[in-house]
Amino acid sequence: MRISIGAKIFGISLLMLALMAGAAAISTLTVDRITVELDLLSHVFLPLSEQVAAVEAHALEQEIQLERLRLLYDRTPHDESAIETALAAFERYGTALDAELSATTVLLDATRGIATADSARTLGGIEVRLQMIAQEHQDFEDHGRTLLTYAARGEHAVQGELARLIKAEKVEYNQAVDALHRDVVAYSQSASLRAEAHEKRLRVLTFVLTGAAAALGLIIAGVVTLGLVRPVGRLLAGMRAIEAGRLETRVEVTTRDEIGALARGFNDMAGELRVKERIKDMFGHYVDPRIVQDLIDKPSLTEPGGERRVMTVFFSDIAGFTSIGERLTPDALVGLINAYLTEMSEPIRAESGVLDKFIGDAIMAYWGPPFVAPDEQAARACRAALASLDRLAEFRERVPEIVGLRRDAPEIDIRIGIATGPMVVGNVGSDVLKNYTLMGDSVNLGSRLEGACKAYGLRILIAEETRNLAGDAIETREIDALAAKGKSEPVRVFEPLALGGRLDDAGARLKERFEQGLAAYRAQDWDMAEAAFRGASEAVADDPPSRVFLKRIRHLRDQPPGDAWDGVWRMTAK
């Protein structure tokens, strides 16, 4: 059964209230009993004790007056005045005694509503004894009056007999009154002791109940608090584990309240995070993980559209791949391509490039914000290109093993084109399939430069804007000013020779001779240009671009371009 935290807290409150109500009820009951005992003591037993003492005193006074009258009647002559005074006193004390007895009856009648069962029995016994005393007093008065009548007549014989009877009755009467007085005093003391005992019991009971309620409340509150704190602590530890990347973390569900619901929700959330992480890892093999993360963090990127940024694009493919594919079995060809793409992807990843797509043997990648700093993108792309050439030499040695041919293994060579410029970055595709990629003239230029490498016999060509942005990070030589097919604006293109500051002497001589030849070439000084290009070919044996320009010079000597020539080479093929 599910019990909510609110219900638990409310239950504890109810229990505490019940304990407090029970303690209050017991205390009230005990106080009521103390009040009853004190009321009986103050309003019944003490007044009753006084009244019984008054009855006893009036009875003694009346007895004294009776004896005085007997003595007065024995004297001759009779003192009538003294006899009248004594008779009046005898009657007065009798009347007072009757009044006290009547008052006790009224008092007992008034206490029936407050008396407890035990007190009611006690008071009932007292009432019976008072009635007996009243009857005995009436007999005493009747016999006394008769005695006085005989005394007044001088009938001593009858008087003596009656006096003995009255004396015996008086003894019993006095004993009954005295016993009643002692009992009433004892009842008063007993009521006082009971009230005191109830008061002590009340103090002990209040202390015990208060302590029990406090202890029970603390125990229950402690149990409930631990029941809340422990699962909350487990949740907190689980959250920290998730923050640390331990997505396999699960929190034990030990309750059926809101904390339990939170724990189940946490486990569900962790499960969803694990699924998302698996999806991210899986798609990271198809799309760059940073793009996957961007699409997860910014769902708006999945909507069609894009934004214009300055980016650097990288294209590469295998030279003569078609002929290579014709010589290999399908399995060998796929194995070669997979190994090649794996090898050539590493320099791009090492330089924080984004692998956009593989198109057969071709690789498209790019650099730029938000993946790398804007001023680093060109240098990183060029470093990746140079590192690819370094890896290519090692990869060539493994080709025979990869394709399973000890002899006549295919020769692998690559061409790379890099361009920097404004590009549209966005989500492109149909409703069914989309690709987060680049578009624009600069993208096309990068592709054209990769193709132009074939015309110059080079492996890498970069655009002028790429060269300018890379700065001193790369050593380059200018190759040409060319206009790609379908483009009227020429672009100066460069070949990266080495990382900044690492150009060797042969490379430096090549750069110097080639740039001298290029300047003479653009000035239509064919002799100087030819000499410089030949010098470049000597610096680096059989330099392919130098051969291209030497061939062009021979053609231009036969067909001079004229004064309007701008030195731009216009490509007729992609």
| pLDDT tens digits, 558-573 | 898 888 888 888 877 6
Beta strands in 100-232 (DSSP E): none
How far apart CA 399 and CA 149 sit, in angstroms, is 163
Which tens digits make up the pLDDT trace of 308-332? Answer: 999 999 999 999 888 888 888 899 9
Residue 332, phi then psi, degrees to nearest 5: -65, -40
Mean pLDDT of 102-120: 75
Measured CA to CA, the distance from residue 181 to residue 547 in angstroms comes to: 151
* Kind plus residue range of the DSSP H or E element containing 423: strand 414-429
What is the rounded distance in angstroms from the CA atom of residue 162 to the CA atom of residue 202? 58
Q: Which of 84-88, 250-254, 265-269, 345-349 is predicted most confidently?
A: 345-349
Contact 488, 501 (CB under 8 A): no
- In terms of Cβ atoms closer than 10 Å to its own Cβ (0-12, 13-18, 19+), residue 513 is buried
DSSP E strand stretches across 97-244: none
Chain centroid offset of residue 537 CA = 73
Banded pLDDT at 142 (limits 50, 70, 90)? confident
Could you tell me the two tokens for 160? 């003596």
Rounded CA separation 303/325 (Å): 39
Within 13 A of 29's CA, how many CA atoms are on the CB side? 8
Residue 6: band (very low, low, confident or very high) from pLDDT cuts 50, 70, 90: low
Give 569's strand partners. Answer: 482
Highest mean pLDDT among 220-229, 232-241, 288-297, 300-309: 232-241
Q: What domains lie within the chain, and their CATH numbers? A: 5-221 (1.20.120), 305-502 (3.30.70.1230), 504-574 (no CATH)
3 state SS for 475-499: EEEEEEEEECCCCCCCEEEEEEEEE
- pLDDT of 228 strictly over 80: no
Is 459 within 8 Å of 497 (Cβ atoms)? no
d(CA 362, CA 366): 14
Of 42-56, 483-497, 503-517, highest mean pLDDT: 503-517
What is the 3 state secondary structure string of 428-481? EECCCCEEEEEECHHHHHHHHHHHHHHHHCCCEEEEHHHHHHHHHHEEEEEEEE
Residue-level pLDDT at 317? 94
Residue 390 makes CB contacts below 8 A (sequence gap 6+) with none
Mean pLDDT of the chain: 83
Residues 444, 424 contacting (CB under 8 angstroms): no
Calpha distance 472→76 (Å, rounded): 166
- β-strand 414-429 against 305-318: which pairing, if any? antiparallel
Mean pLDDT over 373-386 rounds to 96
Distance CA 23, CA 209 (A): 6
Angle, vertex CA 526, rays to CA 520 and CA 532, nearest 5: 55
CA–CA separation, 426 and 437 (whole Å): 6
Q: Are strands 354-359 and 362-367 parallel, antiparallel or unpaired?
A: antiparallel
What is the crossing angle of helices 156-243 and 5-40, to 10°?
A: 170
Q: pTM for this structure? A: 0.58
Whose CA is closest to 384, among 350, 341, 412, 355? 350
Burial class of residue 367 (count of CB atoms within 10 Å of its CB; 0-12, 13-18, 19+): buried
- Return the structure tokens found at 181: 């007085």
As beta bridge partners, residue 496 has: 476
Lowest mean per-residue pLDDT among 29-33, 195-199, 421-425: 29-33
Instruction: Report whether 134 contacts 177 (CB < 8 A).
Output: no
Distance CA 242, CA 237 (A): 9
Length of the chain: 574
C-alpha closest to that of 372 among 351, 388, 386, 392: 351
Can you name the residues that pair with 461 across neighbouring β-strands? 417
Give dist(CA 481, CA 490) in Å, integer.
Answer: 6
Report the range of poorest mean pLDDT among 29-33, 111-115, 423-427: 111-115
